[in-house]
Structure formats: C-alpha cells, structure tokens
A and B are shown apart, each in its own frame.
Chain A
C-alpha cells in the first residue's frame, strides 16, 4: 500500500495481529505440550500449566495403539486417493479448459456441485454397495469414495489453472509437429506444476483428516489414525496425554506439510475461487 500510517498505528496493528495469532495457536500449543506432561499435571486440581517433561505418554500411546499400522492405513488411504484423483482430475481439467463447446463450463460446474454434496448422502448407498461386492472394511472402499470428492476438487482447480494458461505455446508446439497428447503432457503440464502440487497437498490433507468415511468403511485392521483418535475414548483407559502423543502422528505431519508448502497451500485455498 502506498499510504504511510503513523508508526504507532502500525505497532498497534501488529500487536493485535500477534495477539490474535497467539490465541488461535494456543489450543494447538496445549495439545503438543500435553504429550510431555505426566498425568499428575494433566489431572492436577486446579489445572496447572507448569510440568516436568516426560515421554510416558508416548510409551502409553505405543502400548495402546498399533501406531505403525494406523499410520500405514492413513498413508495408503491419503496417497492412494491423491494419486487416483490427480490421474483422473488433471486431464479432465485440461480438457474442460481447452474445449470450446458451450457445455464445457456446465460440466465444470457439475464437478463443482459434486464437491458440495453432503458426504452422508453418498456414504449410505456406497456402504451398501461395498458390502454387496465385499469391499467393506478395506482401504479400497475409503479410497474409492474419497476419490470422488477429491477428483471433483482437482477437476475444478485444474480447470482454473489451465484456463489461465495461454494456448499459444501448445499451438506452437502443435504446428511444430507435436502430438495433441504431447501438447498436454510436455507443454501444458509442466507449466501448471504449482497447481498440481497444490491439488496433491489438499487431496492428501482431506483424506488424511477425514473421519466420517473411514469410520464406517474400515474395520479395526484397516482404520486410519483419525478414527483411532476418537474410538480410543470410552473403550480404553487413555488420558489426554495419550491424545497429545497420538496427535504428534495424526496432526503434526499435516500441519508441518502445510507450513512447509505454504505457498502452494495458500494457492490451493484461494485459486479455485477468484
């Protein structure tokens, strides 16, 4: 901005921002620190913030949960769904952006509309279909259903990215004897790499954080960590400290990924909109 506010206004503004950020991050800081608190301090009366760090909660988490298996499930589901969604969605987004027929924009909106359907509406009939064909309780059930929402998202996002890309380069490549597929694969695709990274990041995040689909489509051997987080309560005697320790594996990886790829994350959240 060209305006030059007085220094104290700027200081005030930034102080408010800093305060807001601290308030927003405090619950997460609590979650992380809880993992290192002995249960005496978590259940102290009245509650206290001071504690002697311990790793007991991690031992508890490892003892109560088959972490390796949970993480394996989460990884397979989120990466499987992301790969499938990108394979289906990126070419479709390109086709919709390049086709000149009038119904293409309608088709793009169709994909957008699929994204807005409440998950329970597809879950119940899909649950019955999976039961009938014997896939209920497998990773495939979750991956397949997750992929519909993610594909719809990827198609719309990539439609926006490819549409913003000038056609001239592909046209030039075509006149130079490049095939149509080569125009897509070798000319257009490398230019939208940020879009693909952004889509992959969000697909992984959606699938990793999803709870409703795996809660009803997996069984105990195939459940991901998001489901384990909550089913643990009530069935096992675990404390908030164990939750904090578990969260190190369920929440922290995605938070770090989004921070690390922040530029793409911001794009992913704003690009399809404007």
Chain B
C-alpha cells in the first residue's frame, strides 16, 4: 500500500536527499489528478454545461422560429407545463409505462433467472441466446413489432384482428391498448437484461445457507420465500432502479411504432420534450420538460438507494 512506499522512501530518503518526505505522495496525487482531469473537464464541458444552459433556457420564452422575441419569464414555463393537460398526461403516461414495464420485467426476469440458476453448458448457451434482444437496435425493435402487429398484413396482427382480440386498427392503433403493447415490447427487449442481473445476484448468494436450509427439509417454496427472496432483494431493487431510469427515458421504440399516438395515448415525457424542442423549436418549454425529467429520475433514484440500503442491512442480518 501507499504507506509502504512512503516508508521505503523515508528510509532511503534520509540518505539521498533533503527534500520533504511528502514529495512522492504529492507527486503521485498530481499524477492521479492529471489522469482524471481530461474526463472530468470533458464531462463538465459537454454534459454539465449544456445542462446548466437547459436550466437557463427553461426560464425564458424562447422559440427558434422567433429568436428575436426571447424574453425572461421566470417560472412561467413550469406553471404552463403544470396547467397543460397534455403535459400532465405525459407525466402520467411515462409513470404508468415505467412502473408496468419494470414490474413485468422483474417478474419475468426473476422466473427466468431461477430457471437458469445452474452452471452447465445448456444454461450458459441459452443465456447467450436470451441476451440477443438487448443488442438489437431499439429503433429496429419498434419497427419489427410495428410490422408484426400491423392488423392488415402483420403475422400476428392479422390474427389478433381476425379473432377480435385487438380491434380493426390493431393493438398499436387503439388508444386503450397502445401503451400496454409498448410495455410488452419493452419487456421483450429488456427482460433478458433483468434476468442477467438477477442471475448474477443468485449466483453470489452464500451456498452454505441454501444448503443448510435444504438439509433442514425446507421445501422449494419455503426456501424461495424465506431465504432466496430476502437475500436477493437488494439485487432486485438494483435491477429495478437501473431499468426504471431507462424506461423513464424511453423514446426509440415509441417513436418507431406510435410516435406518441393514437391521440396522446403513448406520448411520454421524452417524446413530448423532443417534439416540443426539435420539431416546434420551443427551446424554453422543451428544456422545462427535460429538467423535470432529471428531477423525477433523481428523486426515484434516491428513493431506490434508500430501499437498497435497507434491504442490504436486512439481508446481512440473516
């Protein structure tokens, strides 16, 4: 460790130089700062600076179509956002989407992880195949399902419409089902990732406790409820927070399938902000939505971190 170095330098230092002992430690600190500085400065310049500008823009009435009429309006954009029914709808849609998609992915992912919880060639090969959806371009995912679910010529959509399951305009064309269809598409894409995270958690559980429980005659259900689930809980929360952050920002699959429609049924905050900012060039309003998204993500991340800490403590008490 560092102390050893300092000690060895100290013992030899008295022979060769009169410089203070701290020199090496200080030199090393400078070296580490220099290694870290480029990344830090880069992120400050290309991420933090635009974010601060975003905060600034959100306080202005600023439309690129009328750049001359830029005016300071204080918190008016935020008040407008709250008064706008479509905007409030976007928050609700995003929350429903995030909550449903993450819950579905956790349930399916936990099931798959338990099934895969055996270290043999078969399971490992299947895991590799299962991860394929994670690597598919999200826009292509949206287009695949748009094609499959098309009510006229889609391989699935035709039969869904024919059997009266989906209505004549298909699952994606119906305001009542469009959001749930997108939840299912998101689950298709991301359940494998949740499975992988939970599987890594399962594999790191202490085997002696599991074996002891089995030797004591605990049934499979008892072992799951009393041992596996409580000890896996921190990992489950972790998967939940990672997925929630991404699901909250969902854009590509919706843009490729419904583009927020039909009506405003699938208009999430990301779509709302992108349309507002880069189609209508309403920079002030778009920045407002983006900032609100950051606040939301920060809030539920903190909530999850508290949950994870609590679950960790409980899991370690066992």
CB of B140 within 8 A of CB of A125, answer no
- Beta-carbon contact of A94 and B35 below 8 Å: yes
B265-298 contact mask (Cβ, 8 Å, vs A): 1 or 0: 0000110011001100001001101110110010
Instruction: State A151–B241 Cα separation when bound (angstroms).
Output: 21
Interface contact B200-A274, CB-CB below 8 Å: yes
Q: Say yes or no for A229: interface residue by CB 8 A criterion.
A: yes
> A229 vs B146: C-alpha distance in the bound complex, in angstroms?
13
Cα of A274 to Cα of B149 in the assembled complex, Å = 38
Main secondary structure of the interface of A (DSSP, over half): helix
Taking a contact as CB atoms closer than 8 A, the residue among B32, B57, B137 that contacts A99 in the complex is: B32
Q: Show 6 A/B contacts (Cβ-Cβ < 8 Å), sorted by A.
A: A125-B53, A175-B5, A209-B135, A233-B143, A247-B137, A266-B131
Q: Which 5 A-B pairs have the closest CB atoms?
A: A92-B39, A121-B290, A125-B50, A95-B36, A91-B35
Closest to A266 in B: B196
Interchain CB contact under 8 A, A95 and B153: no
In the complex, whether B145 has a CB less than 8 A from a CB of chain A is: yes
A243 closest partner in B (C-beta): B143
Q: How far is the CA of A184 from the CA of B5 in the complex (A)?
A: 16
Given contacts A17-B112, A89-B39, contact A180 B242 (CB under 8 A): no
Whether a CB of chain A sits under 8 angstroms from the CB of B193 is yes
Write out the residue numbers on chain A whose beta carbons fall within 8 Å of the beta carbon of B155: 30, 47, 49
Stretch at the interface among B41-49, B69-77, B82-90, B165-173: B41-49
Shortest CB-to-CB span from B162 to chain A, Å, is 7
Interface residues of A in 239-254 (CB under 8 A from B): 240, 243, 247, 250-251, 254
User: With A118-B293, A121-B294, A262-B128 in contact, do A269 and B47 touch (Cβ < 8 Å)?
Assistant: no
Q: Which residue of A lies closest to B119 (CB)?
A: A1
A145 vs B47: C-alpha distance when bound (angstroms): 8
Chain B proximity of A81: nearest CB distance (Å): 12
Q: Which of B115, B129, B252, B287 is the one whose CB lies under 8 Å from A124?
A: B287
When the two chains form their complex, are residues B36 and A124 in contact, meaning their CB atoms are under 8 A apart? no
Q: Are A273 and B238 in touch, CB under 8 angstroms?
A: yes
Stretch from B14-22, B97-105, B174-182, B243-251 that touches the partner: B243-251
Q: Give the dominant DSSP class at B's interface.
A: helix
Q: CA of A120 to CA of B147 in the docked complex: distance in angstroms?
A: 27
Q: In the complex, which residues 146-169 of chain B have their Cβ closer than 8 Å to any Cβ of chain A?
A: 147-148, 152-155, 158-159, 162
B132 x A2 contact (CB < 8 A): no
Chain B residues lying within 8 Å of A145, measured Cβ to Cβ, are 46
Cβ contacts B113-145/A at 8 Å (1 or 0 each): 001111100110011111111111111101111
User: Which one, B148, B159, B255, B286, contacts A27 given CB within 8 A?
Assistant: B148
Choose from B39, B118, B200, B251 the contact partner of A155 (Cβ within 8 Å): B39
A91 touching B39, Cβ below 8 Å? yes
| Contact call B273/A120, Cβ cutoff below 8 A | yes
Q: Please report the C-alpha to C-alpha distance between residue A120 and residue B144 in the assembled complex, in whole angstroms.
A: 25
B36, A120: Cβ atoms under 8 Å?
no
B192 to chain A, nearest CB (A): 7
Indicate which residue in A180, A240, A257 contacts B147 across the interface (CB closer than 8 Å).
A240
- In the assembled complex, which residues on chain B have CB atoms less than 8 Å from the CB atom of A180? 27-28, 31
